[in-house]
Amino acid sequence: MTVELHKVSKKYRSIAALEDISLTFEAGRIYGVLGANGSGKSTLLKLVAGLVKPELGQVLVDGVAVDRRIASEVSYLTELDFFYPNFTAGRYIDFHASQFADFNREKAIEMLAFMKLDAEKKVVAMSKGNRGKLKLLLALSREAPIVLLDEPFSGLDVMVRESIVRSLLSYVDLDKQLVIMATHEIEEIENILDEVIIIKEGKVIVKEGAEALRESRGKSIIGWLKENHG
């Protein structure tokens, strides 16, 4: 599975969200799309998910132009905190299992226990952190070849983020899946990233292997970012 963006530009009205972006993503790797809020990270994921169309350029999956039908190939975690408030976590698992042929119910139940979520508790009664956990559970329980995670740790406290990041590799199959995470919360995830893409004001300013980036800069990714783009 390969995702390609060829000279992609996207505007919202007169405001450029992304400008002349060319990137390639391949299965078996975890990519971190990093940058400040408003840098264009979410737009990049929405383009891959087929939720928005570029003004210029092409977005391809295995050589085929992306449209809304790509949903069967993409597990997409939105940055938005949107739920049916009267659904319980258990009902959400049932609902997603009915909608997606690749939804792994056994994995979902395992993650429910790991994340200490109550299957009978309604979303309306959950904390923001627990709603964030539920979003991750639903996204990672799909076995889609493309996994897109937009600000996946938003609302989670530091200890919870560290725990989930440590376990993340056990919930994805890197032989079959590619994972793209867009986030500005870098510290906990940089050690699991294979490749780093840094976006600033809609433009890619760095695209490099995570280990090579650390070695060439002589410091952690977050340390380098703070020094150069803080």
C-beta separation of 43 from 15 below 8 A: no
Measured on CA atoms in the order 72, 73, 77, 80, is the torsion positive or negative?
Answer: negative
DSSP state of 159: H
Backbone angles phi, psi at 178, to 5 degrees: -115, 140
Which CATH number characterizes residue 156's domain?
3.40.50.300
Instruction: Please give the Cα distance from 188 to 166 (Å, whole number).
Output: 9
Question: How many domains is the chain partitioned into structurally?
Answer: 1
Which are the contacts of 221, defined by CB distance < 8 A and separation ≥ 6?
Answer: 34, 186, 190, 193, 196, 210, 213, 214
Instruction: Please give the Cα distance from 55 to 18 (Å, whole number).
Output: 10
Query: Which pair of tokens denotes residue 197?
Result: 């893409």
Domain that holds residue 36: 2-229
pLDDT tens sequence for the chain (230 residues): 899 999 999 999 888 999 999 999 999 999 999 988 889 999 999 999 999 999 999 999 999 999 988 989 999 999 888 788 899 999 999 999 999 999 999 999 999 999 999 999 999 999 989 999 999 999 999 999 999 999 998 878 888 888 888 888 889 998 999 999 998 777 778 888 999 999 999 999 988 888 887 777 666 676 666 666 55
Instruction: Please give the Cα distance from 38 to 227 (Å, whole number).
Output: 20
